[in-house]
Amino acid sequence: MTADLPGAESADFPGSDSADLAGAESADLPGSDSADLPGSHSADLPGADSEAEWVRAVKILGAATEICLACHVRPDGDALGSMLAVTQALRARGAAGREPARVVASFGDSPFEIPRILRFLPGTDLLVPPDAFPERPQVMVTFDAASADRLGLLQASASAADELIVLDHHASNTRFGSVNLIDQAAAATAVLAFDLIGRLGVDISRDIALGLYAGLVTDTGSFRYSNTSARVHELAALLLRTGIEPGAVAHELWDRSPFGFLALLGAALGRARLEPAAAAGHGLVWTTVTQDDRAAHGLPFEVAESVIDVVRRTDEADVAVVLKEDDQGCWQASARSKGAVDVGRACVALGGGGHRLAAGFTARGTAAEVIATLRNQLAVKGEGEAGGSGAAAGR
């Protein structure tokens, strides 16, 4: 169903008047897109990609007979939501007098499982497992992946693709595409996906809006993180006008888990450690979620994802870390900062990636060993790291 919203490119939104609104307040807001209307891309911002890259992307997508989409492994709401929105937009694209392109979407996890909390998203039925993904795509588009290795099993397809369009907002993005649509000022990849859909001339249907909205609320922590800008709220308003229900989305994403999660959370919080002297005196709080914690209640890996949201509340620590043991026995680390410390830099140094305030990496060894290497990285002061500026964008 298509709501009668104008195409994303149109300024026919309470945003025709938003230029004066936004112009006044947001110029001094870090990470905000100033007078940028929803539907206009941010190519004119410092660090954003050029108009020419967008034009090339649209041309490539317009000419393609096969488009293969991939998001990062263990997808979150931004990765999967953005990809499903664009998947549906490409399928809906009016192909006047022309065969529509074949569209394939996947992510490179084995086993291939859609995270439970994201199964409410429309379009999951369009996903194929990575072994059904073309080995040499004509055109491939990646979502929310800061580097090629984040594509997991689909990394080889990305290397072999004739054209690789990278859509992302991570500061740590390695620009591994032939076309790089990367804007670290964007609050979420969903913002860039929205821009792309507008440029493809596809209306924002309710189903497309749901994917984009899931991305927006995931990466802004439901409009709480510092990457929440006027444009984020303007885009959210536009998406809500398609009829999606924010309460229902929030319930699916954050307000449900199996009963066993309570025991897992209790165990993880019970062994949290506070190290006030760590991170150059800004403080570190950390804990683990082990395979055993999950096995005791038959819980999948993804239930461990929300533990960081409780741990990061700790007033005494700028940095919060949760080491989550995956089914292969690797630690998947989630790190968060309140602003004084650049956890993105520390995680990149450990082979991971992310943003200044939210980042992650993968490691082997005992939890104590992994924390020791991280502790060393956090002790190194990076450029611009001093005391609690908190100005950078969130995840």
Whole-number Å distance between alpha carbons of 127 and 75: 13
Please pick, from the candidates 34, 42, 88, 147, the single residue that binds ligand 5GP as defined by CB under 6 A. 147
The radius of gyration computed from the CA coordinates of the chain, to the nearest angstrom, equals: 20
**Which alpha helices (H) appear in the chain, and where do they start and end?**
18-26, 51-63, 77-92, 155-160, 189-199, 206-219, 230-240, 246-254, 260-270, 291-295, 307-311, 343-349, 367-379
- The answer to whether residues 88 and 242 touch, using CB atoms and an 8 Å cutoff, is no
Rule CB under 5 A: is residue 34 a binding residue for Mn ion? no
Rule CB under 5 A: is residue 144 a binding residue for Mn ion? yes
Name the residue whose CB lies closest to ligand 5GP. Answer: 360
Rule CB under 6 A: is residue 353 a binding residue for ligand 5GP? yes
361 binds, among ligand 5GP, Mn ion, none (CB under 5 to 8 A by kind): ligand 5GP
Rule CB under 5 A: is residue 189 a binding residue for Mn ion? yes
- The answer to whether residues 95 and 161 touch, using CB atoms and an 8 Å cutoff, is no
Half-sphere exposure of 315 (CA within 13 A, CB side): 0
- Name the minimum Å distance from CB 52 to ligand 5GP: 27
Name which of 4 and 313 has its Cβ closer to ligand 5GP: 313
Name which of 170 and 231 has its Cβ closer to ligand 5GP: 170
- Name the minimum Å distance from CB 98 to ligand 5GP: 36
Rule CB under 5 A: is residue 183 a binding residue for Mn ion? no
What's the count of helices (H) and strands (E) in the chain, helices before strands?
Answer: 13, 11
Rule CB under 5 A: is residue 325 a binding residue for Mn ion? no
Rule CB under 5 A: is residue 219 a binding residue for Mn ion? yes
189 binds, among ligand 5GP, Mn ion, none (CB under 5 to 8 A by kind): Mn ion
Name which of 33 and 149 has its Cβ closer to ligand 5GP: 149
Whole-number Å distance between alpha carbons of 105 and 126: 7
222 Ramachandran zone, left/alpha/beta (phi>0; psi -120 to 50): left
Rule CB under 6 A: is residue 222 a binding residue for ligand 5GP? no
- Find how far residue 385's CA is from the centre of its chain: 24
Task: Show the CA angle centred on residue 218, arms to residues 266 and 354, nearest 5°.
Answer: 90
Name which of 38 and 354 has its Cβ closer to ligand 5GP: 354
Binding mask 58-87 for ligand 5GP (x = CB under 6 A): ------------------x-----------
- Name the minimum Å distance from CB 265 to ligand 5GP: 16
Name the residue whose CB lies closest to Mn ion. Answer: 78
Tell me the residue ranges of DSSP E strands in 123-198: 139-143, 163-168, 179-182
Please pick, from the candidates 67, 148, 154, 358, the single residue that binds ligand 5GP as defined by CB under 6 A. 358
What part of residues 164-193 is at the interface with ligand 5GP (CB under 6 A)? 170
Please pick, from the candidates 334, 337, 342, 378, the single residue that binds ligand 5GP as defined by CB under 6 A. 334
Residue 309: Cβ-neighbour burial (10 angstroms; 0-12, 13-18, 19+):
middle
- Give the residues lining the site for ligand 5GP (CB under 6 A): 76, 146-147, 150, 170, 334, 352-355, 358-362, 395
